[in-house]
Structure 1
Amino acid sequence: MTNLELAKVIVNLVGGKDNVVKAANCMTRLRLTIKNIDLVKMEELKNTEGVLGVVEANNYLQVVLGPGKAKKVTDICIEELGLPSDGVVTENWQENKQAIKDNQKQSKFKKVVNTIANIFIPLIPAIIAAGIFNGLASLVSTLQGQGTLPAEGFWKATQLMFALIGGGFLSYFAIYTGINSAKQFGATEALGGMLGAISISANIVALSTMLGLYDEAVPLNSILTTGKGGIIGVIFGVYILAKVEKAIRKRIPDVLDLILTPLLTLLITGLVFVFAIMPLAGFLSDGLVSALSVIINSSNPVVSVISGFVLSALFLPMVLLGLHHGLIPIYAVQLEAMGGVSLFPVLAMAGAGQVGAAIAIYLIARKVKNTRLQKVITGALPAGFLGVGEPLIYGVTLPMFKPFITAGLGAGFGGAYVMLTHVLATAWGPSGLVAIPIMQPQSMLNYFIGLVISYIAGFIITYFVIKESDVKNA
């Protein structure tokens, strides 16, 4: 089945173009917001050739297609089949009412997670690219410091170019976050970007110093300083901005709207953001980092081993429920406060546990002559090694269930090692082998060792727990 044929089948099974509010791509998934979930032929969709799995949450569907294919099918759905890439309002008020009701069925927590996902998912390609470039720049710099590479000339220019590209995104992460947050909260996107820019402006320090809120001895301990509150503050600030903008627009005459609405919105929100939201969000961020440090940066090896094992073992169920996007603000807070992310490398071990479990199942499947399962694993394993776990989750381990558990247990051992050795990443994105370049240079080897441990542990536990009859009947 071609990608075009697959796209047409999916659109038909979800109730047609008119039943889709929004379509978007998420790494390995086609994400769809549905008006009437009752029109979706769920079983047929799950059994469609090329569909690896379907995650359903009220009026929200994630059709798992695998890396590369998901993006291509999404583009076809939007560009050729006419699915909306953003939420649209139809002229049929009954359909709009039904869509709103369906959306209201979601729990508040799930809505928050989905909002966070929608803010950061469009940024993932840039996050990955910037992290890799920063990692390469750091690696070249380290090799130059050791005398392995020349300090000037070609390698100096290479290091500067890599750092320039990586910094082009991560240095202005707050601005991109502000723009996407505005899009989610219904504010003017440019104003959201301006609020993000305010948070990283050098004038914050001058203002803080004038008011006696700046600690020159330890700038990070200042009540107010550049970047205080990080992206948590930006997201909350843009949420307030959206409320203020809508309230002002209702009261401003149309002839003055273009001038006064953005002016008053930024003035009011800017004051609240700088003097209330940034210090408060900074306090919360500092508290979050401190709390996390007790668990994931502990000097006690016993605590490190236990926390690393538990976090890695439980990550796959979080992915299954779509809750893993809620961790992105924690990654960002760590990156801003610590200069690196320690939680991501630990959780990345979950995918490696899947790989080990899949290899064990493959050997058993070959023994019991389950050729169908062998083909599925053969097709999904390369993606698994590269950190894309959905094909293995939805095609192999989850349908069998027991391997889903043994894979998580195997991942726990790799997570324990990674936590114990204090591995740090320069960004976050796909895990597996492709994440090695985004680890800090001194962490690359230990991250790779953690992957190998997860492969082996996932294989051993699965091989000796799963019965041949389970694989034969799968």
Structure 2
Amino acid sequence: MAPTDHLATALLPLLGGPSNIASATTCMTRLRIALHDPTALRAPGVRALPGVLGLVVDGDTCQVVLGPGAVARVAADLEELRRADALRAGRKARNATPGKLALRRVAQIFVPLIPALTGCGVIAGLAGLLANLRQLPALTTAFTATAAGFMALIAVFVGYNTAKEFGGTPVLGGAAAAVTVWPGVTQVHTVTGQLRPGQGGVLGALAAALVAVYAEKACRRLVPEAVGVLLVPTVTILLAGLVALYGLMWPAGEVAAAVGRFADRLPAEGGAAAGLVLGGLFLPLVMLGLHQALIPVHTTLITEQGSTVLLPLLATAGAGQVGAALAVYVRVGRDAAVRRTVRSALPAGLLGIGEPLIYGVSLPLGRPFVTACVGGAVGGGLLGLLEQLGGAIGATAIGPSGWALFPLLSGEHGPLRAAAGYGAGLAAGYAAGFAVTYLFGFPAENARGRHPRDNGDAALGSVQDR
């Protein structure tokens, strides 16, 4: 057994525990650790540990000298211990289930990519507008290149984040995923035929990075530390790359193609029924956090087809929520606290950020949450019908919703017609959410003249206390 096999376990309490570590990075021989509270460091104990060759303390940063090979192993073990501690704390606090943990990991992989997806989507929309207007062709080409660069390499970022989330070296995950987008894969022939760059999209990249993570962990257990600095990354990238080429890209490509075919058929065949279901059920998904599971689907559609037709339909749920909140604002005229909550959360709701209205207004009241779902179903149903009659409407990026989605819309008949159809869906959601909530979202006034909100005093009290 190497002297560093259990070093991370012994090192962690001497550093002040997992919560005291702000960040941990490595060089060839040293583990650099930034501490929230440097006074919690027990330097003599660290220096006395077997396998520690030295310790340098500089303010809130300490450098543990471990030597080549050993430093990577200890850093990986330390990160696993920190991650396990964070997961235990989160599970205890939230009573997390395995499903919620899986969704959290999906979010950790894809959510950091949303700003770039949003920015590139807006730039692509501007390029499309210039192309349609036949103005500034040179600038149009530059805009297109700027927007397409990130999308061409999104697999690398997915691989990087996947390895980071699952406890591997992030850059090795990115390197393994990069194999899937290299133009030269067209020269690789498998039993399923010739490969193409990007085949499998983000799903193939995620799978390749997972292979890299487990290959790296196995190598660190088996390879001697003296040669680990050379062999571990080499074997990790080689093994993950070969598995990606000969075992992952084709099946991942088939899954991505199936998702694309489903998305193509949804507006054409599902129409109003599909929009009604998607618009009506999305708020409960958001409430439970299950909407995170759709991020890879949206990303796959954007990388494969250039846009996701699901997002505009789902966005109508937010319109139903806004309409319901406006009705609450009108009906609870005597409750200044609830009206203040609606006013503060409404701007975010108009931009598609529904959680403040869900948790601050409609969900505590009960009925308005249900009527908000009805409003979203009406908006989604109308948009689905318009798509069935006039062609699909998609979003070139994920993240924004509500009014913020307008610059990202695309459609078979141009962005203006897509914006008109989407705007009609939003308007229907606003109107239906307001009307249904106003009429049915509160108990009827009884003979003693109680205000409609009085039946929900307990729930409203929790809102007022915030």
Same fold (TM over 0.5): yes
Among residues 300, 307, 315, which one is paired with 2:274 in the alignment?
307
Task: Say if 1:425 and 1:101 are closer, same or farther in 2 by CA, change over 3 A.
Answer: closer
The separation in 1 between residues aligned to 2:373 and 2:77, in whole angstroms, is: 36
Asked if 1:454 corresponds to 2:416, the answer is: no
Number of the residue aligned with 2:453: 471
- Residue 378, structure 1, aligned to residue 359, structure 2: no
Q: Could you tell me how far 1:160 is from its partner in structure 2? A: 3.2
Match of 1:340 in 2: 307
Which shifted more, 453-462 or 107-116?
A: 107-116
* Distance change in 2, residues 1:203/1:317 (3 Å): same
Amino acid at match of 1:257: G
Q: Distance in 1 between matches of 2:19 and 2:428?
A: 43
Which residue in the other structure is 2:173 paired with?
192
Q: What code does the residue aligned with 1:133 have? A: I
Quick one: which of 323, 343, 350 aligns to 2:290? 323
State which of 82, 103, 118 in structure 1 corresponds to 2:108.
Answer: 118
- 262 and 456 in structure 1: CA distance in 2 versus 1, 3 angstrom threshold: same
- Distance (whole Å) between structure 1 residues aligned to residue 77 and residue 378 of structure 2: 43
SS of residue matched to 1:194: helix
The SS at the match of 2:176 is helix
Q: For the Cα contact (< 8 Å) 1:177–1:231, is it kept in 2?
A: yes
Please point out which of 160, 164, 167 is paired with 1:179.
160
Structure-2 change in CA distance of 1:470 and 1:116 (3 Å): farther
Aligned-partner Cα distance in 1 for 2:305–2:319:
26
Which residue number corresponds to residue 28 of structure 1? none
CA distance in 1, matches of 2:408, 2:99: 31
Shift of 1:104: 12
- Paired residue for 2:144? 163
Map of 1:285 onto structure 2: 256
Which whole-Å deviations, capped at 9, do the CAs of 1:67-86 have from their partners, x for residues lacking one? xxxxxxxxxxxx9xxxxxx9
**CA offset at residue 236 of structure 1?**
1.5
Match for residue 409 of structure 1 among 331, 355, 374: 374
Q: Structure 1 residues 272, 461: CA separation in 2 closer, same or farther (over 3 Å shift)?
A: same
CA deviation digits over 1:70-113, x for unaligned, max 9?
xxxxxxxxx9xxxxxx9977999x97896498499643322221
Classify the secondary structure of the residue corresponding to 1:225.
Answer: coil
Contact 1:354 1:458 in 2 (8 A): yes
Distance 1:466 1:95, change over 3 A: closer
Question: Match for 1:360 among 320, 327, 331?
Answer: 327
Q: Deviations over 1:207-254 (max 9, x none)?
A: 23x97813xxxxxxxxx3211111111112211111111101211111
Gaps (5+ residues) in structure 2?
1-15, 23-59, 61-75, 446-450, 461-466
Write the deviation string for residues 395-423 of structure 1: whole angstroms up to 9, x where unpaired.
11111111111111101121122223121
Alpha-carbon distance change, 21 to 273 in structure 1, aligned in 2, over 3 angstroms: farther
Partner Cα separation in structure 2 for residue 374 and residue 133 of structure 1: 38
User: Following TM superposition, by how much is the alpha carbon of 1:354 offset from its aligned partner in structure 2, in angstroms?
Assistant: 0.8
Aligned to 1:73: none
**Aligned partners of 1:22 and 1:88 also within 8 Å:** no
Higher alpha-carbon Rg: 2
Structure 1 residue 456 displacement after superposition: 0.8
Opposite residue 193 of structure 2, the aligned amino acid is: L
* Consecutive unaligned residues in structure 1, runs of 5 or more: 1-16, 24-78, 80-85, 145-149, 215-223
Q: Write the mapping of 1:128-277 to structure 2, written as runs, cut at 5 A.
A: 128-144=118-134, 150=135, 155-208=136-189, 213-214=193-194, 224-277=195-248
Q: SS of the counterpart of 1:348?
A: helix
Report how far residue 320 of structure 1 moved. 1.0
Q: Is 319-328 or 158-167 further displaced after alignment?
A: 158-167
Are the equivalent residues in 1 in contact too, given 2:183–2:197 (CA < 8 A)? yes
1:320-340 per-residue CA deviation (whole Å, 9 max, x = no partner) reads 111111101111221233221
- Asked if the contact 2:274–2:381 (Cα under 8 Å) also holds between the matched residues in 1, the reply is yes
Paired position in structure 1 for 2:420:
445
Instruction: Give the distance between the partners of 2:91 and 2:112, measured in 1 at CA.
Output: 26
CA distance in 1, matches of 2:248, 2:308: 24
Contact 1:21–1:88 (CA under 8 A) maintained in structure 2 = no
Amino acid in the other structure paired with 2:271: S
Once the two structures are aligned, what percentage of the paired residues are identical? 35
Secondary structure at 1:446 match in 2: helix
RMSD of the TM alignment (CA)?
A: 3.0
Shift of the 445–265 alpha-carbon distance from structure 1 to 2, 3 Å rule, reads same
Change (3 A) 1:188 1:448: same
Q: CA deviation at 1:306?
A: 0.9
- CA-to-partner distance for each residue in 1:190-216, whole Å, 9 max, x for gaps? 1111122211111111223x97813xx
C-alpha spacing 1:416/1:272, structure 2 compared with 1 (3 Å): same
Is the 1:178–1:194 contact (alpha carbons within 8 Å) kept by the matching residues of 2? yes
Query: C-alpha separation between the residues in 2 aligned to 1:97 and 1:329?
Result: 22
Distance apart, 1:171 and its partner CA: 2.1
3-state DSSP class of the match of 1:424?
Answer: strand
Tell me whether 1:396 sits opposite 2:376 in the alignment.
Answer: no
Give the direction of change, closer, same or farther, for the CA distance of 1:348–1:90 in structure 2 (3 Å limit).
closer
The superposition leaves residues 147-185 of structure 1 with CA deviations (integer Å, 9 ceiling, x where unpaired) of xxx3xxxx3344234323322322211111111011011
| Count of matched residue pairs | 371
1:226 aligned counterpart, secondary structure: coil
Q: Tell me the CA shift for residue 116 of structure 1.
A: 0.3
Between the aligned partners of 2:258 and 2:280, the Cα distance in structure 1 is 25
Structure 1 counterpart of 2:404, from 428, 434, 437: 434
The Cα shift of 1:316 comes to 0.8
Mark the CA change 1:174 to 1:378 in structure 2 (over 3 Å): closer, same or farther: same
